[in-house]
A and B are shown apart, each in its own frame.
Chain A
Amino acid sequence: MTTHPANQQFDVIVVGAGPAGSAAALLAARAGLKVLLLERGEYPGAKNASGAVFYGSAILNELIPNWWEQAPVERHICRRDIAFMSPTTAVALDFRSAGVGFATAPYNGFTVLRPKFDRWLAAQAEAAGAFVLTSAVVDDVLREKGHIVGVRVRREQGEIYGKVVIACDGVNSFLAKKAGLQREFHPHELSLGVKEVIGLDPAIIQDRFHLTDNDGIAFEYLGAITEDVHGGAFLYTNRDSLSLGVIGQVSSLVERRKRPYELLERFKAHPAVAPLVRGGKLREYSAHLIPESGWAMKPKLYTDGMLVAGDAAGFCLAAGLYLEGMNYAMQSGLAAAETAIFACQKNNFSARVLAAYQKNLKQRHVSTDFRAYRHAPSFVNGPRLQNLYPEMVARGMEQIFRVDGTPKRKILPLTYRMVRQSTIKPGQLLRDVYQVARAYLW
């Protein structure tokens, strides 16, 4: 490799200061490497919108013990609901835990506001010795003899050289595409999330959701909530606000000609949701894409001089019961940093050495989880599981509970009649039951 002026030469260049990038930069800097973390936003988090429940507490706790005592966290999640919705009814599965790990350290999940959380996390990388440069857009990778040797930042003399580049530039990763590792996406592989942060008095939040102190809830909604658009909705509690949003598959929004923010309004107006948000005041509206197809949209993860992590690598588990991206972003960022540290020890940055990334991803349970759930996204994010069945459950319960002088039907005949009345064929139903089992049970 040619040598370049010392001030423009790094061991590791990390692009993107989301959870993947900041975790990677932190670990690499702690290993004594010269690390540069580049972020296009005015500050880390300025471009990032998510739910967001951060389920990576235990991971972060290994890096920064009792991290939640100093980080800008909102509430720890002690209660999770999954609600199946028809236009007027809701049936919810209500999980509450005061148990170890949920209500006690290191906690299972925290709601966070990304512009605050991401900024804090990047500051931890900086404290560990990484150089953090914000307002810096990376436009391309630099190559020498086919190897990636750095990046081009959009500014005068923007060439910056590094032995390893870690692309943590999120779902639209231009870097993975420029490096020839990723293809263009299809609209059915991505979902658009539109979100609002709605201010509400902490005392009202506690009363309304039956919470003490900093306990919090995470509610997910499936069924008629997104009408006929494939998707779902969520509502989470922060300290003095609610985060809520609607997620819709891009191809399905196009086909149904639905505007995402209109779905958001309908969600808030649903009789099961309206009382939860009543009296609140909109503080911020936002939008962001989600890579929904998991394993199927995974790029080639490494090449000579470069690794890809986080959403850029499709490591976001968005499948019915789960919406987890930040924790996998962080785990894959750490696995990439471990690989970069290993390559620096070997002083060899070829794809052959960087292939250790695969082993590191496995050790951090990233590739194993995504392999295990590889069947879930394409099926779960489809019309029957996201819209039809949840709505049938809600309508079914309505019939079970309704007392109107007509004869009471038992559950099996009732189900039979509902399936008969729907567009679903019994054979299809059985196949779907098998698919759900395959996606989640074994």
Chain B
Amino acid sequence: MVMTTHEEKMRTVRFRVGATPHIVVNSEICRNDCSVHACVYVCPANLFVPLDDGGILFNYEQCFECGTCYVACNQEGAIRWSYPDGGYGVTFRES
């Protein structure tokens, strides 16, 4: 079908998940210093889950490695961002 939910979209993408996270979020900073929570809206993989206490729950496994969260986040040090190890991470087949 043409109209799809976000879950259905993500199921079409192939990820080879590495053992170590390439992105680490410091939820302390999200909780104490951030009112915008930009990452929650912009991430095309919807990987940033806001918690009741204002913090963020993040899982790196289905990440497009696009860098959007890193540029959108306005809090120094909240996101530690790098690429996964060679050959790991997202592997597009059609795009």
Q: Tell me the bound Cα distance from A305 to B45 in angstroms.
A: 37
B19 to chain A, nearest CB (A): 13
- Residue numbers of B with Cβ under 8 A of A are 1-4, 6, 8-10, 12-13, 16, 36, 38, 41-42, 44-46, 64-68, 70-72, 82-87, 89-95
- Chain A residues positioned under 8 Å from B8 (CB to CB): 282
Q: Which 10 A-B pairs rank lowest in CB-CB distance, beginning with the nearest?
A: A135-B87, A287-B44, A135-B86, A285-B9, A49-B95, A286-B95, A284-B94, A254-B38, A172-B67, A197-B94
- Chain A residues positioned under 8 Å from B83 (CB to CB): 40, 137, 174
- 1/0 contact string of A174-186 vs chain B (CB within 8 Å): 1000000000111
9 A-B pairs within 8 Å (CB atoms) are namely A41-B91, A47-B89, A47-B90, A49-B64, A115-B93, A137-B85, A197-B94, A261-B44, A285-B9
Interface residues on A, range: 35 or more
- Chain B residues positioned under 8 Å from A260 (CB to CB): 42, 44
A82 to chain B, nearest CB (A): 23
Contact assessment for B72 and A187 in the assembled complex, using a CB-CB cutoff below 8 Å: yes
Contact assessment for A47 and B71 in the assembled complex, using a CB-CB cutoff below 8 Å: no
Q: A114-B95, A115-B94, A195-B95 are in contact. Are A282 and B4 (CB under 8 A)?
A: yes
Q: Tell me the bound Cα distance from A18 to B85 in angstroms.
A: 18
- Residue numbers of A with Cβ under 8 A of B are 40-42, 45-50, 113-115, 134-137, 139, 153-155, 171-172, 174, 184-187, 190, 192, 194-198, 241, 243, 250-251, 253-254, 257-261, 265, 268-269, 274, 277-289
A47, A171, A253 — which one has the most chain B CB atoms within 10 A of its CB? A47
The one of A113, A268, A283 in contact with B12, judged by C-beta atoms closer than 8 angstroms, is A283
Contact assessment for A187 and B71 in the assembled complex, using a CB-CB cutoff below 8 Å: yes
| Dominant secondary structure at the A interface | mixed
A139, A154, A184 — which one has the most chain B CB atoms within 10 A of its CB? A154
B9, B71, B84, B89 — which one has the most chain A CB atoms within 10 A of its CB? B71
Q: Tell me the bound Cα distance from A40 to B82 in angstroms.
A: 12
Q: Tell me the bound Cα distance from A50 to B92 in angstroms.
A: 11
- Chain B residues positioned under 8 Å from A40 (CB to CB): 83, 86-87
Contact assessment for B64 and A268 in the assembled complex, using a CB-CB cutoff below 8 Å: no
Q: Tell me the bound Cα distance from A116 to B72 in angstroms.
A: 31
Q: Tell me the bound Cα distance from A49 to B65 in angstroms.
A: 11
Q: Tell me the bound Cα distance from A172 to B1 in angstroms.
A: 34
Contact assessment for A196 and B3 in the assembled complex, using a CB-CB cutoff below 8 Å: no
Q: A114-B95, A250-B71 are in contact. Are A282 and B1 (CB under 8 A)?
A: yes
